[in-house]
Structure 1
Amino acid sequence: MERVEKTDEEWQRLLEPQQYEVARKKGTEYAFAGKYHDWHGKGLYRCVCCGTDLFSSDDKFDS
């Protein structure tokens, strides 16, 4: 995968505010508050910035 390079302003325009804070500014979501916390559908979780596959729903577990 090629490196994705954008200015901070470009990332702010492309991402939702919470996506930008978490992906670009090292922020976090509130515990148990994300829309995928209790999601059990099949699929792949991908990076919101570059689209790289991160992990499969088969790898998700209750901790």
Structure 2
Amino acid sequence: MSDFDEAWRRCLEGLEMTGRRRRLRDVDRLGDGRVDSGAGPVLDFSSNDYLGLSHHPVLI
């Protein structure tokens, strides 16, 4: 393993041990700016369509 790989492995292990490692989640898009990751629908402020304007009839 290269020094670079080893440094990243240690960094990721440190984040994991402190509970700060982020992981991507699969979500289902519900439309109008909402998503569901299994825990119930929530607003998605991280997308480009968090206001749900891509489906607004006045803008289409």
TM-score normalised by structure 1 residue count:
0.24
Per residue, is there more strand in 1 or in 2? Answer: 2
- Specify the structure having the higher radius of gyration (Cα): 2
Higher relative contact order (CA 8 A, sep 6+): 1
